[in-house]
Structure 1
């Protein structure tokens, strides 16, 4: 499973990445996290606000920091 955190490196982006790492740890999921900070790459996903989380190339949420539980749900939805 591939999880992408879209954002330019702001504090919310870093918090979202930390929450994603915690969700993977709690689920013992086989997942890889990639940070996407290039604005041109971010724009390819059609989002208007960061941070955003993309799982298996599907935008799951953008414009806010997901909780660990929300991310766990997104991961389970993709299994």
Structure 2
């Protein structure tokens, strides 16, 4: 699974990165997690509001911090 956390480094972006790593560990998933802070790269995904979450090339969240339960559902569906 390929996961990208999009955000320039704000607190919500950092929180999402931490939560994604926790959920991946809890669900024992094999995942490559990358934090992207470069604005032009973020915009290439069509994300205008951060934090953003991209899983396997698809934008799954943008402009809000999903709950841990929402993250679990998103990642479980993509495995």
Q: TM-score, normalised by structure 2?
A: 0.95
Q: Which runs of 5+ in 2 are unaligned?
A: none
Aligned residues: 79
SS in 1 for 2:13: helix
- The CA deviation string for residues 8-58 of structure 1, in whole angstroms up to 9 with x for no partner, is 001000000011011101100011210011111000011120000000010
Would you identify which runs of 4 or more consecutive aligned residues in structure 1 move more than 6 Å? none
| Offset at residue 69 of structure 1 (A) | 1.4
Secondary structure of the residue aligned to 1:50 is coil
Gaps of 5+ in 1: none
Q: Secondary structure at the match of 2:76?
A: helix
Residue 58 of structure 1 corresponds to which residue in structure 2? Answer: 58
How far off is 1:72 after superposition? Answer: 1.1
Superposed CA RMSD: 0.8
Q: Distance in 1 between matches of 2:68 and 2:21?
A: 9
Secondary structure, in 3 states, of the residue corresponding to 2:50?
Answer: coil
